[in-house]
Amino acid sequence: MDSYPRELSKKVTLLEHFKNYLQSSRAQSCARPLSSRGEIDYRKEQNYKPGSIYVKKWMQTKHAIMFRLSNKIVQVYFTDHTEIHLNSESRLVTYVNKLGNRSVMPLNQALDSNNTEMTKRLKYTKDILTHMLNNV
């Protein structure tokens, strides 16, 4: 991005810092490369408009990095390469385990699941999401 209005220079600088962070080795240890994640293609969502989905807020903890997107989806990438994706509109949880196996289920079932690894991460996600939202 070499050409942009002067009033956007702070935002462009912030985006550059964010991009550099995400490309750093510290971030890479927390999230797998996009190609191996097989993540959901949000462009196929009903209300998708090009450029309309963006990161509203993000937070890094010792164990994970969390992204709250403008389409009300929350993505959490844990340092052990597991993932939780929460879709508040459909009330669905997507869990990706250490082997890359994906499971999708309603949030109310996920909380009562026998999958202790997933429920542990859901509780952690709830705690850091609550912290993120309370520190607006």
Q: What is the structure's pLDDT at 54? A: 82
Indicate whether 21 pLDDT > 80. no
pLDDT, tens digit, 9 for 90 and up, residues 41-72: 444 545 555 566 788 888 888 999 998 888 88
Q: What is the structure's pLDDT at 34? A: 38
Of the candidate ranges 77-81, 95-99, 106-110, 131-135, the one whose mean pLDDT is the lowest = 131-135
pLDDT, tens digit, 9 for 90 and up, residues 85-125: 999 889 999 999 999 999 999 998 988 899 999 999 999 99
Q: What is the structure's pLDDT at 11? A: 82
Task: Give the residue, 27 or 132, on which the prediction is more confident.
Answer: 132
CB 77 within 8 A of CB 61: no
- The architecture in CATH of the region 54-136 reads 2-Layer Sandwich (3.30)
pLDDT band at residue 24 under the 50/70/90 scheme: low
CA 57 to chain CA mean position, Å: 10
pLDDT band at residue 31 under the 50/70/90 scheme: very low
Q: What average pLDDT does this structure show over 130-134?
A: 80
The residue ranges of every structural domain in the chain are 54-136
What is the distance between the alpha carbons of residues 61 and 78, in angstroms, rounded to a whole number? Answer: 9
Q: How far are the Cα atoms of 31, 88, 99, 106, 115 from residue 64, in angstroms, in the given order?
A: 9, 20, 17, 22, 19
Q: What is the structure's pLDDT at 51? A: 61
